[in-house]
Structure 1
Amino acid sequence: MAVTVISFLCIVALLPFSGLGRRDDHSGDLKQMYIKMTVTNKFANMDISYPTFVSKGIPLFGVLNHLQDTNKNFSFTYRINKSLGIYLESVNGLAGSAVNHTYWELLSKKQNHITRLNVALLPFPGLGRRDDHSGDLKQMYIKMTITNKFANMDISYPTFVSKGIPMFGVLNHLRITTKTSVKKGPFPITVTVTNKFANTAVNYPTTVTTGMPMFGVLNKLKNTTNNFNFTYSIDKSYGIFLESVNGLAGSTVNKTYWELLTKKGKKITRLNVAKKGEKAQIPDSITVTVINKFTNSMVSYPANVTTGMPIFGVLNKLKDANSNFTFTYSVDKSYGIFLESVNGLAGSTVNKTYWELLTKHHGKTTRLNVGIGCYQPSKNEIFIMNFTTWA
């Protein structure tokens, strides 16, 4: 898998290099280059230089370890930060201080040109830099793809990251924010398209990960199979609505639609989702609660839900009927309808905040592992949107 290869490359980079005593070391295998490591303390007006030879491809972390092992006058300490990787704590016993607003700045000098390094070892928010503002970090969209060529499998994880965050931080962010979707799988399923009027059935084998809704599975099939396509619309009450499959759409005139069924073993079950345009049932009462743990605030909104209506429909009804409630969302091709903000407050990858979805029923609170487009609340339930952090 691609990510595994990347991990191996990182491990190789941190292995002992030429001159550190490996019995199978051959200095001729890796090109050596001369560098000078300089430690500067502007407050003490002091410079100390440590000349050394390093192998090309060795990261600065390896160089510092080499110096520490070979020069008793040099030492350094570090820690592993989940977002920024290996973080420099101290040099020669002197550590940065949030109280004194001091830190170790990393610079590179080549032919009298000095450049400030934009790498993971730079100070990060919270360590006391006066010019540090987490809001200044620009966000960019990336997609992490894990490929297994032996299983002919690709799994993509779209996310937003801050510029300057190393891949180590991105992987930690994904591990925390998508843990429900990568906890298990991928596992095989079959999507079957049946037309009872034409007496046809076509099977499409594929794989799915835990937490991925059928919307994501259909998009995956559409992107990987030439013989499959589908269209959908966003219905304010029922969320993502299946319009057509392989060019064939339902019709109110002919009273046709795409029925959704699931088969496990020999048992076939009709999925508990509503058909577009069907007569609404008597609504049940629920409560939608918005919590912000940072401001210690909580607002509750009474609402109604009918069988088959996802919480997406409930939120839209609230938005239309209550001027004090708003929400925004986006549609992700893998995971469907994604909650972006509530009452003007959006999650942030920089601040590591997001809207956690919870349900409280009969006094028991449970964290949901599906989004607002899939989850269907039940009578007397309290649906909770909790603004919190994953840090």
Structure 2
Amino acid sequence: MDKRIANLYENAIAMPVKSNAVPQFLMELGHASQTVHHAIEELYQQNEQLEQTQEILEAEYQRYEELFEEAPDAYLVTDAQGKIQLANRKAAKLLNIEKHFLLGKPIINFIALEERQCFRNFLSQLSQHGRSQELAIGLQRRGGEFFDAALTVAVTYDNQGKPQSLRWLLRGITESRRAELVQIQKDSYFGDSRQVHKYSKGEIIPLNPQTIWYVRQGLVKLSTLCETSEEVLVGLAAQGMVFGSYMTSLHAYQATALSEVELVSIHLSEITTSPLLSHALLPKINQRLRQTESFLAITGFRRVQDRLYYFLRLLKQEIGETVAQGTRLSIRLTHEDFASACCTTRVTITRLLCKLKQQGKICLDAKKHIILREID
């Protein structure tokens, strides 16, 4: 196209009867061609960033999947009706059955017959609560052997607030250990007995490969650098979540405080020597795994506006708080942070956010925090 425009321009100049309008028109056409070139180049760059980000998130997802698989306790994920969707090796060993035979089977198949009605009642009441619950019940291994177990279950919800999946932690117990299990529910392992480390907004949090950070208060941005030295947002650690360089295979991994942050550190030696501490950490590691999956899914959308929309939905779930106008994001993220998460440019994010604001789907409060009105 460029060559044809150049030929037309030369022919117009060489014409016996010259017209100023024709060369001017061809020059404007040439400028339009250059604009198209710039747009194509930007699309190429965005596509490369998308591919790099997807590779990073896939590696992160693989890491958390390995942590789930190698967890020291039996762990299951079921749908809302109790049909098993995921199981780790410890679960297969505990129930004395090959892991692939577990998938698709109702968890009630492993409940003692005389206690199945109690279990059904427990399942029906789960949707009425928003916290983890425990149930002491008799389980039956394949082969007929019975044993007492403690089932800890947490419910995840869809966008309409309906139960979507159940996460189960299965442990064989004795009467003497039941009091210890109550202690786990209260998160006593992350309480006042540990030293609290405080970091200010914008401060880089030091990472030690032998420790894991637990967030007592605030929000931490987790990021890495791609080949072009641009920052890529790979996670957000809010209150009650854990993070650390031990939990990732990324070579460049950085944690930045997005607000005033309070953290406590947990050394790996504690985790390996304390089964109860491992029990308490497993749901929190799973929470990070689920968030990584969400970030990975965002990069799969081809259109930038779709990536932004689903990123706002993720922020609503992770750091949203209900206010009169809708859901307020408790932390202010920069347009650069949005661009990093959505694999696009800051200018594009600014334009799309302004459009959402004009459409009435978002607004800002007095402190410039985004309020989501019609982001479901």
State TM-score, norm by structure 1. Answer: 0.24
Specify which structure has the higher proportion of helix. Answer: 2
> Relative contact order: is structure 1 or structure 2 higher (C-alpha 8 Å, sep ≥ 6)?
2
State TM-score, norm by structure 2. Answer: 0.25
